Amino acid sequence: MKIADLYIRVSTDEQADRGYSQRDQDERLRKYCEINSMQVRKVVYEDHSAKTFNRPAWSKLLNDLRKQRGHSDLILFTKWDRFSRNAGDAYQMISTLRRLGVEPQAVEQPLDLSIPENKMMLAFYLAAPEVENDRRALNTFHGMRRAKKEGRWMGTAPVGYVNKITETGKKYIAPRDLQGNIMQWAFNELALGKFNTEQIWKMAKGKGLITSRNSFWVAIRSPVYCGKIFIPKYKDEESYMVQGQHEPLITEALFYEVQDVLDGRKRVRRTMMVVDENLPLRGFLECPNCGRMLTGSASKGRTEHYYYYHCSSTCGIRYKAPEVNAKIVDEIRKYVQPLPQLLLYKEVIVSVYKAKTNTQHNEVQQLKIQLEEANKRLSKARELLLVGDIEADDYRMIKAECEERINRLEVKLTTSISDTTNIEPLWDKAISNISQLDVLYEKGTVTQKRKIIGSMFPEKLTFDGFQYRTKRVNEALSLMLLINSNIQGKKNGTNPSFLDLSHKVTPPGFEPGSKEPESSILSIKLWGHF
């Protein structure tokens, strides 16, 4: 007596439309086994798609057949589309089952696979369901694309909208009260450019928006909010947008303004911190006790206002603003350099800069010479062709060689040319400013004062009531201090060039270590803009 495993697979739409219920399949298979005197070993129920064999119940059955070889002779199912809807996968699985000594068979579409002609019928039984699936999927795709072209949103409503159905059964999306208002606010804030996308998402969540970060980023890129439906590219038809049937949350102009901000095509003017002229150091000072940033405020006396820098925490740090402002002038004077030292620094930088760019200049000149020679050779070959001294085939060969060489030389020349700006004129105003930084600070406006402080001290300043401490000062100022204190005069008979002087040595106890003067070229340019 043969032993059989019954495989019963259903899907929701087939249960409703075709009557392929589990009980119906179970009854047919058991009746077949009873008529043919077969013993039923187990019944396997499956509710997954037959597009692949990655199905939980099938995988469990296959593992059982591998562990217990010889315990089953057949796997029975009603029709071949219960077994698979993918012809290629089905043939591979049939081969796997045969190696395990198991024969798959459809009781309502029986085939003796030992007969070669029956393989043609097997191919038909397996291909028909696959073709049906593909046709159904294609019809669904074209139907959804047609609906999009008519301006209908397909699928779950985006954040800020809700899915609705009319009395006639037509589906559409409509703005959701709270969520829609928050999305309108988010688009308006994005257009202003004061905050980045993540900050606006967090603020929107605080207002009650229910969406993840990635969903929010996708949403602000979707034209559905301005009443448009995007039609993706398909075959020879290019992508485009159509007017949607739903109510837009924002205007089309606002949507594209937001896209310009996100893509960096729109310059956004950030709001500047408004600082009282009596508190120019507000935002630059760090509390020596708790490390928080000191703020500034004024207290009203009987006849005038008194200004203070103070910590907002409970540590109680509080300094009189006039004293702190006066001390910063003394701190700035430490970095004021006389003109002789500045001229020396200029000479060092210019010498190093020229030395480093000299090799590049030579390479560019050589490339230009080679390019000119290649063009001359091509012109000469053209003249020889015109007078008949060379054949057309020879000219074409010479032309191909010259054009290839010209193209390569032009590419090398393009990549070799870089910014070789003459930096000497940039120093005139910069030297003048650095030599009188304290005067410029005292006479400058509050904006100019803050610009000088920000340029000199990249990190926060700490004032302990007596003096200032900072972790780092501007690199150009550090190098000028190095030249002033550590570079001694050279002995007689030595090379007077500045190129052999060390540009990496940092004086003991002075932090942070300075870099090469080349990097300070960029940092020194800012001193010419006060």
At residue 29, the pLDDT reads 92
At residue 451, the pLDDT reads 85
Distance in angstroms (rounded) separating the CA atoms of residues 523 and 504: 16
From 392, 414, 403, 434, select the one nearest 530 (Cα to Cα): 434
pTM: 0.42
What are 471-507's pLDDT values in tens digits?
677 776 676 666 555 544 444 444 444 444 444 444 4
What are 314-330's pLDDT values in tens digits?
888 889 989 998 988 88
What are 101-130's pLDDT values in tens digits?
999 999 998 988 888 888 888 888 888 877
In this prediction, residue 18 has a pLDDT band, given cuts at 50, 70 and 90, of low
The pLDDT > 90 percentage for the chain reads 25
- In this prediction, residues 196-220 reach a mean pLDDT of 92
Residue 341 scores a pLDDT above 60: yes
Kindly report the backbone phi and psi dihedral angles of residue 173, in degrees, each rounded to the nearest multiple of 5, phi listed first.
Answer: -115, 145
Which tokens sit at 53? 């064999």
Distance in angstroms (rounded) separating the CA atoms of residues 22 and 14: 11
How many Å from the N-terminal Cα to the C-terminal Cα in the chain?
Answer: 101
- Residues with Cβ < 8 Å from 381, sequence gap 6 or more? 390, 395, 398, 399, 402
**197 in Cβ contact with 220 (< 8 Å):** yes
**Residue in the structure block whose two tokens are 């077994």:** 83
Distance in angstroms (rounded) separating the CA atoms of residues 423 and 420: 9
Torsion of CA 401, 404, 410, 411, to 10 degrees: -150
Residue 461 scores a pLDDT above 80: yes
> Who has greater pLDDT, 184 or 134?
184
At residue 245, the pLDDT reads 92
Residue 282 scores a pLDDT above 50: yes
> Who has greater pLDDT, 272 or 72?
72
In this prediction, residue 243 has a pLDDT band, given cuts at 50, 70 and 90, of very high
Torsion of CA 502, 508, 512, 514, to 10 degrees: -10
Distance in angstroms (rounded) separating the CA atoms of residues 387 and 458: 71
**322 in Cβ contact with 305 (< 8 Å):** no
Residue 399 scores a pLDDT above 80: yes
Written out in words, the top-level CATH class of the domain with range 3-135 is: alpha beta
Distance in angstroms (rounded) separating the CA atoms of residues 38 and 43: 13
- Provide the phi-psi class of 511: left if phi over 0, else alpha when psi is between -120 and 50, else beta: beta
In this prediction, residue 5 has a pLDDT band, given cuts at 50, 70 and 90, of very high
**453 in Cβ contact with 281 (< 8 Å):** yes
Residue 332 scores a pLDDT above 80: yes
Q: List the single range of 13-27, 265-279, 487-501 with lowest mean pLDDT.
A: 487-501
**Residue in the structure block whose two tokens are 């009188």:** 436
In this prediction, residue 152 has a pLDDT band, given cuts at 50, 70 and 90, of very high
**Residue in the structure block whose two tokens are 């009980």:** 23
At residue 421, the pLDDT reads 56
- The DSSP output letter for 497 is -
**97 in Cβ contact with 77 (< 8 Å):** no
What are 297-315's pLDDT values in tens digits?
888 888 888 899 988 888 8
> Who has greater pLDDT, 81 or 350?
81
The pLDDT > 70 percentage for the chain reads 82
Mean residue pLDDT of the chain comes to: 81
**Residue in the structure block whose two tokens are 């809807």:** 85
Q: Which residues pair with 242 in a beta bridge?
A: 229
CATH for 161-263? 3.90.1750.20
**207 in Cβ contact with 185 (< 8 Å):** yes
- In this prediction, residues 38-47 reach a mean pLDDT of 91
Distance in angstroms (rounded) separating the CA atoms of residues 252 and 258: 10
Q: What number of helices (H) and strands (E) belong to the chain?
A: 18, 14
Coil, strand or helix at 275: coil
